[in-house]
Structures are given as C-alpha cells and as structure tokens.
Amino acid sequence: MSWVQATLLARGLCRAWGGICGAALTGTSISQVPHQLPQGLHCSAAAHSSEQSLVSSPPEPRQRPTKALVPYEDLFGQAPTGERDKASFLQAVQKFGEHSVRKRGHVDFIYLALRKMREYGVERDLAVYNQLLDIFPKEVFRPRNIIQRIFVHYPRQQECGIAVLEQMENHGVMPNKETEFLLIQIFGRKSYPMLKLLRLKLWFPRFMNINPFPVPRDLSQDPVELATFGLRHMEPDLSARVTVYQVPSPKDSTGAADPPQPHIVELTCCPRRRGKWKRRQRSGTSITRCSWTWSIR
C-alpha cells in the first residue's frame, strides 16, 4: 500500500467515526446514521484496478522465439550417407560453425570431436586437426598485458588447445606452418599451446628416424608377408635370404571350398654362417630347434 492510499483510508475512517460520535451526542440512534462507506476505502479499492492505478505497471518483456539447442552428438550422426569417413567428419565441423556463429560451446565440441576421430579414421590427418583449431575464435584469447601473460589467460581454452596437440603427438602427426599460424592467431606467441608446438617441432624430427629397423605404420594382413617381415627384422644381415615354400594340396581336395594351402617361410643366412652350420653337421654337433613368438606393433 502506497502512502497516498494510506492517507485516503485514514481520512475516510476519521469522517465515519465523527458521524457516529455526533449521532450519539444529539441523541439520534445509530441505525439512522446513513450507511456511508469511507471515501478512503473506495479510493483504496479503485487503486487495485488496472484502469485507475496511480502507479503504472511495468511493460511485459517480449518473448523471443527460443532456438532449440542441438546436441553435439547429433551433429556427428546427421551424415546423409551414414558412412563414417573424413567427409562426414568435416561436414559435422561445418554444421557446428553454421549453428553457433559466436562459437558458443566450442571447447566441448572440440573435446567430443577428438574422441570421435578414431571412429571416423581421421586421427592421423593433419588437415582435420587444423580444422578443429580453426573453430576457436580469433584474437580473443590472446594476452594483452604483462599481468595476463603471468597468469594463465583463459585456462580452459588453452588446455583444450594443448589436448589437440597432445593427440597429434600420440599419433605421430607433425604440425606444419598452418598449425603454427592458427595458434598464434588464437592464443598468441606467449602461450602454453605455442610452447607445446615448439617442443613438437624440436623433438619430432630428432626421434623420427631413431629406429634403425623401422616398422611401417599400416601392416599387411597377409600372414606370409608378416612372417617374411618378421624374419627380415630378426636377421640384421642384408645378405640373408628369405624363401617361401608352399605345401601342395592333398589329392582329395574338392575345389575352392577347401582351406588355403599352408606356407613355410625360411630364412637363409649369409654363406659364411651356412659354412659354419655345415661343418657342425659334419662333426656331429647337435642343432637345437626352438620356436618363439615375435610381435610387430
């Protein structure tokens, strides 16, 4: 109740009480006093109406049409063909950029994309990693003064950038000039993701050829080729010779439905070692034959 309504109510009560007291002094019965409501009460009741209110009510805010939030999981399941390949993965990244112009929620989307890369077979593609880094807003997370450089400026975004570089390191992906340009444009030179990039550029070329017997990344599924490759790595001598023997199929074979023919892969060492073995056989020295398991990757 406002002070105006309180004043009017008090004035009406005083007038009504004065009429009752005057009737008692003149000897008039109270029933003959005209039933007259206090004016303050009438004003108080009128104050509650929307038409005669003294204080206007604030206008109601406009209700904007709410845009439904699309879960990030659905962006990776909207491929028209349903195949999980590089094209569908890049299409999901493009849909996120179209859905959120201000790149809202980009950190959560990048973490989800890093987990989905193995399913789409793009965990060793440098162009895909550059596309993920391109999602970050530009010129926003760069430190502007010495205080922001001392303290970690936008720590969650910097941790996300480091996670992208760490996954590149785990899969042996070497960053290029475009990766460096994106990190400078996003975080600046004095940032932790840029420090991680400099360490990758320093140590990756040094450890790239550290193995004298390199193993290819994608191995063949043929058991004969795997056995040949394993024997080549067991014998460092380049003059060693690998021979593959194929056991003939039995006479009662019925055709293509029979199991494949077994193979025997033999490693023949250099002539100097073969001469030693022949001399041992002539002298009666026993040769021990053993079997072991050798794993590649």
Mean pLDDT, consecutive 10-residue stretches, the chain (297 aa), reads: 68 65 52 49 46 54 52 73 84 83 85 92 93 92 88 91 95 93 94 94 87 79 84 76 75 58 74 62 56 59
Question: Does 92 share its domain with 112?
Answer: yes
SS3 call for 243: strand
pLDDT of residue 177: 95
With respect to residue 203, please indicate whether it lies within any of the assigned structural domains: yes
Question: Does 187 share its domain with 240?
Answer: no
pLDDT of residue 289: 56
With respect to residue 139, please indicate whether it lies within any of the assigned structural domains: yes
- For residue 153, the 8-state DSSP code is S
Question: Does 222 share its domain with 140?
Answer: no
Domain residues for the domain of 135 are 73-209
With respect to residue 87, please indicate whether it lies within any of the assigned structural domains: yes
Residue 216 CA to residue 46 CA, distance in Å, equals 90
Residues with Cβ < 8 Å from 116, sequence gap 6 or more?
A: 76, 89
With respect to residue 37, please indicate whether it lies within any of the assigned structural domains: no
Other residues' Cβ atoms within 10 Å of the Cβ of residue 197:
22
With respect to residue 52, please indicate whether it lies within any of the assigned structural domains: no
Question: Does 162 share its domain with 227?
Answer: no
> In 3D, which of 48, 114, 120, 110 has the Cα closest to residue 83?
120
Question: Does 104 share its domain with 163?
Answer: yes
pLDDT of residue 296: 59
27 Rama sector, left if φ>0, alpha if ψ -120 to 50, beta otherwise = left
With respect to residue 294, please indicate whether it lies within any of the assigned structural domains: no
Total number of domains in the chain: 2
Question: Does 146 share its domain with 233?
Answer: no
Question: Does 88 share its domain with 202?
Answer: yes
pLDDT of residue 266: 76
Task: Decide which of 193, 209, 225 is a domain's last residue.
Answer: 209
> In 3D, which of 264, 266, 262, 260 has the Cα closest to residue 242?
266
Question: Does 170 share its domain with 103?
Answer: yes
